[in-house]
Amino acid sequence: KNQVEQSPQSLIILEGKNCTLQCNYTVSPFSNLRWYKQDTGRGPVSLTIMTFSENTKSNGRYTATLDADTKQSSLHITASQLSDSASYICVVSDRGSTLGRLYFGRGTQLTVWP
């Protein structure tokens, strides 16, 4: 069964600190992995995308890593800001369908305190 598991479920950090979010998946055949940021009451917005051959991708203070052998990914946030408070969702796409079906994790709810 294709699944995406994220940890921790929730995280509270102080402004300026770094944090790392984890994602494990069993989706096969693998196409790509995205990290999305979803603010409360809004739709998800893509932060990074990685294909099988990529093991790291940065977008400003966000750095994602991918280990396709162990089927694990992480999202590292550097020097956190209050605006980073959101749900971070790991999304894996398979290449076994023309739809490009997405498999969503439940997200990590990050809260940044001043």
Partner 1 sequence: EADIYQTPRYLVIGTGKKITLECSQTMGHDKMYWYQQDPGMELHLIHYSYGVNSTEKGDLSSESTVSRIRTEHFPLTLESARPSHTSQYLCASSDGKAAPSHNEQFFGPGTRLTVL
Binding site for partner 1 (CB under 8 A): 4, 9, 31-32, 34, 41-46, 49, 51, 89, 93, 95, 98-102, 104-107, 109
Q: Are 91 and 75 in contact (CB under 8 A)?
A: no
Three-state SS for 88-108 is EEEEEEECCCCCCCEEECCCE
**Residue 44 C-beta: closest distance to partner 1, Å:** 5
**Residue 15 C-beta: closest distance to partner 1, Å:** 24
Nearer to partner 1, 31 or 74 (CB): 31
Nearer to partner 1, 51 or 72 (CB): 51
Backbone angles phi, psi at 67, to 5 degrees: -115, 100
Residue 65 DSSP SS3: strand
Q: Output the six-digit token pair for 76.
A: 């590292």
Q: Output the six-digit token pair for 104.
A: 């969503």
Nearer to partner 1, 1 or 69 (CB): 1
**Residue 14 C-beta: closest distance to partner 1, Å:** 23
